[in-house]
Structure 1
Amino acid sequence: MKHLALHLSLGAALAAGIAVPAAAQTFEGPYVGAQAGWSQNKLGPVDTDLGTARIGDKRDSATAGIFVGYNIQPAAGVVLSAEGAVNFGFDDGLARSQKDASAAINPEYGFDLGLRAGYLVTGKTLVYARGGYENVRTAVRILDLEGPRRGKDNLDGWSVGGGVERAVTDRVSARVEYRYSDLGGGGTKWDRHQVLAGIAWHF
């Protein structure tokens, strides 16, 4: 009986020893995923190719997109990632009408390129910070003393944030992330806050 208990204990210890590295391997190599969540755009004056759109308002909306990335583990427990994504907003346009002018900004889609740096607090749970480049494609409409104008413009910016990612299986992980983006510069004021939930498939 003692031998049986010893064998079972050794077997359990061996299984546990194998399980942690296997889970940790989830966060190494390429991955693709999808994400969705809440987004808030807060706009002041926005300098565009058509002129300055003076909005002075904010709006909450839904957002969704896809992402692709690559994880490496340069040291035990440390995960570094390069990631790119394309995101779409839903019902997120902003407009303002004044006595002698009006303007509207409608963010159509955006993409970002970023880096993540994280630490495996357990074999299955990654806590990370992130930052990178953001670009948003917008539809612009302006009416002022120069007359009505419509067109498209791209606005560049940067983002910072962080989140938690958990391995559900050796191939699948789920994550929750907060992100702040500054799409301003020059005379433009555009702040964006997002809370995103995502799921990823690891190769």
Structure 2
Amino acid sequence: MRKLMVATLLAGAVVATPALAQDVGPTFTGPRVEAILGYDHVGAGSDVDNNNGRDDQSIDGLLYGIGAGYDVNLGSAVVGVEGEWTDSTAKSDRYDLTDQFGFGRVSQGRDLYIGARAGILANPATLVYVKGGYTNSKLNVLAGNTNETTDRSFKLDGWRIGAGVERAINTNTFAKLEYRYSNYTDANIDYMNGATSADFDVDTDRHQVVASVGWRF
């Protein structure tokens, strides 16, 4: 009888342990990596006046890249830090236009982002969050009426905010849908001889809608 009671208690402990682990939040916690794909729109900001009657100029393309982060599940809320490297197919396609929202004819280059996010758990498998941080983007200058890039580029500094929904597929895998808005306020020019111009003011907007799939360690 005593052996039966001990066996029953051990079996109950084995069953209770996973349940207890779920109570303290097995998802949305720890380091993560992800693949990013989405829509990218870059254009003149509201304060720009190019004096050419075409201040609504913009470029659109496919955004792709990778991200990484670290989250802490607090029970009903999640906080974390994150970073990204992305690139884009967006570029100017009007050869007869030399002033493309103030930068000439350009293609969107790499973008670096570092920031933080915070959210609430709508249910144990769904996180709704907001985010914000610093972004540094590169615009490659295209040569005249060709698709070749020069060795000159604009580098833009700015900030990003966004919001999204993350869904835990299981403890280790997840999927996200996210909207982000970036505004770049400072820029400089990198020349082909290695020289860099002094910083100057810009006002460039960027809107992105992206989807991600990732792995949590």
- Alignment TM-score, normalising by the size of structure 2: 0.70
Displacement, 1:43?
Answer: 2.7
Question: Residue 103 of structure 1: SS of its match in structure 2?
Answer: coil
CA distance in 2 between partners of 1:23 and 1:137 (Å): 42
Amino acid at match of 2:85: V
Aligned 1:191-202 pairs, distance under 5 A: 191-202=205-216
Give, as a single letter, the amino acid of the residue that structure 1 aligns with 2:83: G
CA contact (8 A) 1:94 1:106 kept: no
Give secondary structure in 1 for the equivalent of 2:22: helix
SS in 2 for 1:21: helix
Q: Which residue of 1 aligns with 2:77?
A: 78
The structure with higher relative contact order (CA 8 Å, sep 6+) is 1
Decide whether the 8 Å contact of 2:135 with 2:158 is kept in 1.
Answer: yes
**Structure 2 CA distance, aligned partners of 1:165 and 1:192?**
22
Q: What is the CA–CA distance in structure 1 between the aligned matches of 2:115 and 2:155, rounded to whole Å?
A: 18
Give the Cα separation in 2 of the matches to 1:20 and 1:121: 19
Change (3 A) 1:166 1:44: closer
* Letter of the structure 1 residue corresponding to residue 207 of structure 2: H
The offset of 1:137, in angstroms, is: 1.6
2: distance between equivalents of 1:189 and 1:94? 21
Match status 1:173 vs 2:191: no
For residues 128-147 of structure 1, the aligned pairs below 5 Å read 128-140=129-141
- Over the matched positions of the two proteins, sequence identity in percent amounts to 32
- Name the structure with the higher strand share: 1
Q: CA deviation at 1:87?
A: 0.4
Gaps of 5+ in 1: 1-10, 144-148
Alignment-derived partner of residue 39 in structure 1: 40
Equivalent residue of 1:26, what SS?
coil
1:89 is matched with which residue?
Answer: 88
Provide the secondary structure at the position in 2 that maps to 1:121.
strand
Distance between the aligned counterparts of 1:184 and 1:131, measured in 2? 16
The runs of at least 4 aligned residues of structure 1 exceeding 6 Å deviation read none
RMSD of equivalent CA atoms? 3.1
Q: Relative to 1, partners in 2 of residues 1:20 and 1:59: Cα closer, same or farther, differing over 3 Å?
A: farther
Which amino acid is the alignment partner of residue 84 of structure 2? A
Q: Which residue of 177, 184, 203 corresponds with 1:189?
A: 203
Question: Is the 2:125–2:167 Cα contact (8 Å) retained in structure 1?
Answer: yes
- d(CA) in 2 for partners of 1:37, 1:23: 33
Give me the whole-angstrom Cα distance separating, in 2, the residues matched to 1:62 and 1:135.
Answer: 18
Q: How does 1:119-158 map to 2 (within 5 A)?
A: 119-140=120-141, 151-158=152-159
Answer yes or no: is the 8 Å Cα contact 2:90–2:108 preserved in 1.
Answer: no
Structure 2 portions without partners, runs of 5+ = 1-11, 145-149, 187-199
Distance 1:76 1:168 in 2: 18
Alpha-carbon displacement from aligned partner over 1:78-101 (angstroms, at most 9, x marks no partner): 101100000010143466337xxx
TM-score w.r.t. length of structure 1: 0.75
Report the count of equivalent residues.
175
